[in-house]
Structure 1
Amino acid sequence: MADASSHTAKGVIEHQRPGRLKEFWSYFKENRGAVIGLYVFFFFVLIAIFADLIAPYESSTQFRSFTLQPPVWSGGTWSFPLGTDALGRDMLSRLIYGARYSFFVGIVVVVVAATGGVLLGLIAGFAPRWLDTIIMRLMDIVLAFPSLLLALVLVAILGPSLLNAMIAIALVLQPHYVRLTRASVMNELTKDYVTSARVAGAKLPRLMFITVLPNCLAPIIVQAALSFSTAILDAAALGFLGMGAQPPTPEWGTMLADSREFVLRASWVVTLPGLAILVTVLSINLMGDGLRDALDPKLKRS
């Protein structure tokens, strides 16, 4: 009988998992913009992963006889379909490799910011009042500064580089995760299942990470998606200001900085990296809206 009941329980769990995924997708696909954003996002992800196979040339290869070559639609050659920059480097290749850098920045920043922010948020939610107050006041101090300005100051202290830019952006974004996680934890602590777990003798680590945290993941996932686009934007801004990735790294913000003096003479060298940033960030934001609608029960359509 015990074996039969255990097999039945496993069957129910296995049946629920695909059911939940199916329910999530049914809500997500109601937002057409989110679905389009998802497809565009995965398109850029594939470009970043297979950049070595897709790009016609290496990102730093220079063709000095073809400097500022216009794109095909402006009378250029099919050898450089999106034209070349001032050093004769293929714009298409640099944009493709730039996707890899931008997504690498987004992943690292979100992982670092979310890990530290969720941990601090859990501690603040379960901690005594005095420790909770200290943590939250520190987060308020960080949030009191304009995010880009604070990141710029941190990079100036650490030194201009892509790694230091990622560290600075992660530190700037971390308070959002702390506040969000703490608010979710405080809301969950009032529910009966937490009281039951405490009565059953659950220790604090189990209560924090196994009982409460899984029920706080929905808003954190949405915040991670939106932070991904913010990280790409901030990294591009720091690169444009010369405090992020350094030349000849084909990062989109750095490409904009290197090309700004040619904005009137060769507009494509500025327009194309700007469009890449715009489309990527827009697709991630649309996808984040769809995640919010699908994961937040209060926003689900009847």
Structure 2
Amino acid sequence: MAEATAAQTAPDRPGRLREFWYYFRENRGAVIGLWVFVAFVFVAIFAPLLAPHGPTQQFRTALLQPPFWQEGGSLAFPLGTDAVGRDMLSRLLHGARYSFYVGIIVVTIAASGGIIVGLLSGFAPKWVDTIIMRVMDIILAFPSLLLALVLVAILGPSLTNAMIAIAIVLQPHYVRLTRASVLSEKNKDYVTAARVTGAGLPRLMFITVLPNCLSPIIVQAALSFSTAILDAAALGFLGMGAQPPTPEWGTMLAEAREFILRAWWVVTFPGLAILITVLSINLMGDGLRDALDPKLKRS
């Protein structure tokens, strides 16, 4: 009888995933961004199957051919071709793979290093914390793209070195965010209870405190994903990222600069790909913030 009464009076709360989706879907822009991002991931995974041609295959009889709806266009090249006869659609589809790869690698490196350093800073003695944070402040004092350019110039122009440089530039954001979350959590009762029961420092950092600091880090990771794609495209445009003939969107823009006036499609489509992808991820990040931040949830 007591069990039945308890079951009736217990609050019927949805699961965490259902609750997350309830708050996430209230932001319509975030839902649209999620579906666009899912499409982006699908294209990145299945690009070799979706692309009608190879990304570096050249058709010398179809140089700067316009899209199919313009005079002189052809359905064989739906979005036209570039200056050396490569299919724009195929290069855009394969470019999604590089952008997704850049986002995953950069966020993984930046978040992993930033979380570890942030945890150490939050639990370290005052003087160690001060040194770590001053180093982070120095890195943040430089414009991010300029610092990335300097690092790539030192390491050498390549997509791999560009990803390393972008990860280093983004890492201080994770350090500061993790440290702030740790400082707000480590003096709470559940952490004190864990200390009393004999939990060591590594267990306190990674098992007790870190799970309660993940919400803002997840939001930062989503926003950093779009920043990584944008910075990689910027470095590629400046010739310091992926090198030709790699079908990376920023590199495609760099190769098309001299044809802006007479072949609009070679510049427009890579630019739109970058714009739509970054915008969708930013919208999704806003939705994640709304769903994961308790202060933003409606009662």
Q: Please give the range of the TM-score, normalised by the shorter of the 2 chains.
A: over 0.9
The answer to whether residue 102 in structure 2 is matched with residue 105 in structure 1 is yes
| Cα distance in 1, alignment partners of residues 70 and 282 from structure 2 | 32
Question: Aligned with 1:294: secondary structure?
Answer: helix
Q: Which residue of 1 aligns with 2:7?
A: none
Q: Which residue does 1:180 correspond to in 2?
A: 177
Match of 1:73 among 66, 69, 76: 69
Match of 1:266, SS? coil
Q: Is structure 2 residue 81 aligned with structure 1 residue 84? A: yes
- The aligned counterpart of 1:7 is none
Matched, 1:219 2:216: yes
Q: 1:146 deviation in Å?
A: 0.2
Letter in 2 for 1:121: G
Pairwise mapping of residues 168-207 of structure 1 onto structure 2 (< 5 A)?
A: 168-207=165-204
Which letter maps to 1:225?
A
Post-superposition offset of 1:266: 0.1
The one-letter code matched in structure 2 to 1:28 is F
Q: Structure 1 stretches (4+) deviating beyond 6 angstroms?
A: none
Matched, 1:45 2:41: yes
Aligned residue among 22, 27, 32 for 2:23 = 27
CA distance in 2, matches of 1:82, 1:279: 17
1:123 aligns with 2:120: yes
- Structure 1 gaps, min length 5: 1-14
Q: Which residue of 2 aligns with 1:151?
A: 148
Q: Tell me what 1:296 maps to.
A: 293
| 1:61 corresponds to which of 45, 57, 78 | 57
142-151 or 197-206: which moved more?
197-206
1:50 maps to a residue whose letter is F
Q: For residue 168 of structure 1, report the CA deviation from its aligned partner.
A: 0.1
Q: Secondary structure at the match of 2:256?
A: helix
| Alignment correspondent of 2:268 | 271
For residue 101 of structure 1, report the CA deviation from its aligned partner: 0.2
Q: What letter is aligned with 2:46?
A: F
Kindly provide the amino acid, as one letter, of the partner of residue 70 in structure 1.
P
Deviation of 1:72 (Å): 1.3
**Normalized per residue, which structure has more helix?**
1
* Structure 1 equivalent of residue 9 of structure 2: none
C-alpha distance in structure 2 between counterparts of 1:300 and 1:255, whole Å:
42
CA distance in 2, matches of 1:167, 1:25: 34
User: How many angstroms does 1:102 deviate by?
Assistant: 0.4
Amino acid at match of 1:287: M
C-alpha distance in 2, partners of 1:301/1:164?
A: 44
Q: Which amino acid aligns with 1:187?
A: S
Task: Report the Cα offset of residue 74 of structure 1.
Answer: 1.5
RMSD: 1.2
Identity of aligned residues (%): 79
Describe how 1:157-168 pairs up with structure 2 within 5 A: 157-168=154-165
Aligned AA for 1:46? Answer: F
- Which deviates more from structure 2 when the two are superposed, residues 59-68 or residues 73-82? 73-82
Counterparts of 1:104 and 1:37 in 2: how far apart (Å)? Answer: 19
Gaps in structure 2 of 5+ consecutive residues: 1-11
For residues 258 and 301 of structure 1, what CA distance do their matches in structure 2 show?
A: 49
Q: Does 1:234 align with 2:231?
A: yes
What do the CA deviations read for 1:160-214 (whole angstroms, capped 9, x no partner)? 0000000000000000000000000000012111111111111101000000000
AA partner of residue 21 (structure 2):
W
Give secondary structure in 1 for the equivalent of 2:61. helix
Alignment partners' CA distance in 1, 2:183 and 2:74: 61
One-letter amino acid of the structure 1 residue matched with residue 45 of structure 2: I
Residue number among 89, 93, 99 corresponding to 2:90 in the alignment: 93
